[in-house]
Structure 1
């Protein structure tokens, strides 16, 4: 009986050693498999940022940051791929600020990494203009202390990256058409150029 118990114990030890060696070899031979589940590895994101920073231009607009790093603090209720626990800043996004002083329009552009959407897709769109949401004729009421500012935003995803664009203008038409039209034109011009830029990546 003792002999059988000894043989069984020895078998378990040998099997454990073999399994351990197998796992270690697997880890060594497949380092790419050991990574953060949220990690994004693509060429498009860096490519579009370089293009926007150095070559993208919309007539009438000036990009203020000119490559300067500008990070925005975020609440710690969300801890995802962008999170930096030490200071709650978005590190893997890039911010651009475009101003058009002649039309009194500002457009904010943020690029962020994307590993979810594989083709060009609309993610979200939203907007606010005073005539509809804060006027004497508005069904939502009127409050004097709210700014007379029109705001519209688009979120678009493509292979490897996501674009968040927000346009706002204080001196707008009553229906907010200036901010919306400027955002629409800006988006059209940017996305068309980015599609051409990343066309080779889509074939991979």
Structure 2
């Protein structure tokens, strides 16, 4: 009787363990389908939206130079792994990049738009800047880090998520041009207005 109970317990544990493992893999697979890839409908919407950007988004003072050409920086395999080979379902199928140049003030703006996977959120994601006058000066409290080998540029970056899209913009200017943060804020405002009217 004792041996039968022991066998019954071992078999029960094995069955429970097997069911648990199967359930976990099934749930993980479902989640990866929901959050790891863009649905065909969302991909079609993304393509239609980026066509609107190509045709209608004309930020004041800027010309877009890619004109639909690809400009994608390859992601390290450690981040995407096998997704990288699936162009239609990876980041390469849900991101589009633009380069805007302003001949008047000599600024360049890089803009990247990607379709969010999973539930939509509205949030500011990050911002950072580099000012040559602040971070590469022989005359301020950071002078220990000064060297003439660093490029004389200013760079400003904003990133936010709205209406199911992630938008990241970087403005690059000559170090003497100190209005870059204001220009990028104005550009982001134009992007936001365009998003509101075209999603």
TM-score when normalising by structure 2: 0.71
CA contact (8 A) 2:160 2:166 kept: yes
SS of alignment partner, residue 77 of structure 1: helix
Alignment partner, residue 26 of structure 2: none
* Counterpart for residue 192 of structure 1: 193
Q: How does 1:39-78 map to 2 (within 5 A)?
A: 39-41=37-39, 42=42, 45-78=46-79
Q: Corresponding residue for 2:167?
A: 163
Q: Distance in 2 between matches of 1:139 and 1:124?
A: 26
Counterpart residue number, 1:183: 184
1:19 aligned partner: none
Deviation per residue, 1:131-185 (Å, 9 max, x gap)? 1111012322211111110000111112321111000001533xx3x22111111
Give the equivalent residue in structure 2 for 1:135: 137
Call closer, same or farther: CA 1:84–1:126 in 2, change over 3 Å. Answer: farther
Alignment of 1:118 with 2:116, yes or no, is no
How many pairs are equivalent?
163
For 2:182 and 2:96, how far apart are their aligned partners in 1?
A: 24
Unpaired runs of at least 5, structure 2: 1-29
Q: Secondary structure at the match of 1:122?
A: strand
Using a 3 Å threshold, how does the CA distance of structure 1 residues 126 and 148 change in structure 2: closer, same or farther? same
Could you tell me which residue of structure 2 aligns to residue 11 of structure 1? none
CA gap 1:84/1:170 in 2 versus in 1, 3 angstroms: farther
Partner of 2:104: 102
Once the two structures are superposed, residues 60-110 of structure 1 have per-residue CA deviations (whole angstroms, 9 ceiling, x without a partner) of 211001111222223222116963389xx9513111000012101000001
Q: 1:34 to 1:80 in 2, by over 3 A?
A: closer
In structure 2, distance between residues paired with 1:94 and 1:108? 11
Query: What secondary structure, in the 3-state scheme, does the structure 1 residue paired with 2:78 have?
Result: coil
CA RMSD between the two structures? 2.9
SS at match of 2:92: coil
Structure 1 spans left out of the alignment, 5+ residues: 1-31, 199-204
Larger radius of gyration: 1
